[in-house]
Amino acid sequence: MNFIEGEVLLIDKPLNWTSFDIVNKIRYIIRAKLNLKKIKVGHAGTLDPLATGLLIVCTGKMTKQIESFQAQEKEYITTIKLGATTPSFDKETEEDATFSTDHITKEMIEQTLQKFVGETEQMPPMFSAKKVNGQKAYIAARKGEEIELKPRKIVISSIELQNINMPYIQIKISCSKGTYIRALGRDIGKTMNSGGYLTELRRTKIGDFNVENALEISEFEKNVNNLQLI
């Protein structure tokens, strides 16, 4: 492999790592192996710390392809807890409200999910990397500051209900760049006159790239010393 000329690495991001943690770790491993001071390394699409799954990492000249990878459709599998909300729309923050789920049926869930298929406008979460006036929204959110976010157009090509174990539902989503699955969980709960937040999130595909072909970071670190480098 030629990391300087450029490689596309598929990494299975573990829980509680940031996407930049992965980039920094890979950069360190490559620099140590090749005895380099600098090498370009970047990722194609942020995953939240509480999310796992496919992260595309590019090195060297392949970092020029990052935008094209980011633009591709993505697939996620997520578990949503209905009947409650959190400020971050996931488990990063504590539940701040609870709602009844007695009225929610399988038919209602299936009908609600289909309402989100197609082009819609979505309000990003306050706890996100979305920038407002040069500041990332999550920085303001963690300080308790209010900032004005604007909705953005997204496209959801499919949503499939995979499992129901109330108050939890598991769904698979195929969607466009810029879709916040945490915001989708919020909106699904709200549409059913209840609440909703993510308890698990895993990215399984980006375009034709599949997490089944990805390496855990520990596997990459173990194997890189055995690679034939150019």
> Looking at the annotation, which residues are catalytic?
48
Q: Are 147 and 130 in contact (CB under 8 A)?
A: no
Report DSSP letters for 123-153, one per residue: PPPSSSS-EETTEEHHHHHHTT-------EE
Q: Are 199 and 81 in contact (CB under 8 A)?
A: yes
Query: For residue 106, what are its two tokens?
Result: 């399988």
User: Strands 41-43 and 52-59: what pairing?
Assistant: antiparallel
Residue type, 127: F
- The rounded distance, in Å, linking the Cα atoms of 205 and 184 is 18
